[in-house]
Amino acid sequence: MGPQRVAVKVVGLLQDPAFHVAKCAAELFSDACPRTCENFRALCVGGAKSLRDGRELTYKNSLFHRLVKNGWIQGGDIITGNGDEGESIYGPTFEDESFSIRHKGRGVLGMANKGRHSNGSQFYITLQPAPYLDKKYVAFGQLIEGTEVLQRLEVVPTYNERPTVPCKIIDCGTFEP
């Protein structure tokens, strides 16, 4: 039996380089990864405060700083915006929770990390199946709306996997179905 779908969904408004704004939504698998999903949800809603310096932790106005062709798009560095940092609602990082969700298709949401038990705020969305990420990165959700956003982002010009033009989350939050 696979992961159960949850009622809480997240929604984001993304802006691509041509200033198109599009909505996307994802289901979070909180039965498999409750702490990971709560971290992501809280960062979408905003309002949580940094344990380091008290600033608000939110994905709002954050950038997608990495686009791996035929791989994934990555964002969520809510500290510097360049992929070097991030912070969770639990502190700088938190532990890997579960590897039960597989990276078996397009639109899987997962936590980017710098090694075991180093999840913060950075996340990715797969552009195709990525089994090489299984057991190394915690997948915790699935994009259910907004695949056109991925289509626009995956063709953005890059230099060393960095977009040459800004790709931004302009707003985000949750909704109940």
16-40 confidence digits (pLDDT tens):
666 667 788 899 999 999 999 999 9
Question: What pLDDT is recorded for position 46?
Answer: 93
pLDDT at 2: 46
- The β-bridge partners of 174 are 10
DSSP character at residue 139: E
pLDDT averaged over every residue in the chain: 89
Q: What are phi and psi of 94, to 5 degrees?
A: -145, 170
Q: Using a pLDDT cut of 90, give the percent of the chain over it.
A: 69
Of 7, 24, 11, 34, the C-alpha closest to 138 is 34
Write down the architecture of domain 9-175 according to CATH. Answer: Beta Barrel (2.40)
Average of pLDDT values for 67-83?
96
Residue 19 is predicted with a pLDDT of: 62
Question: If you average pLDDT over residues 104-113, what whole number do you get?
Answer: 97
Would the pLDDT of 7 be above 80?
no
Check whether 177 has a pLDDT greater than 60: no
pLDDT at 17: 60
pLDDT tens digit string along 119-176?
Answer: 999 999 999 999 999 999 999 999 998 888 888 888 889 999 999 988 888 888 887 6
Q: Domain residues of the chain, as ranges?
A: 9-175
Task: Concatenate the DSSP letters of all residues of 1-38 into one string.
Answer: --PPP-S-EEEEEEE-TT--EEEEEEEE-TTT-HHHHH
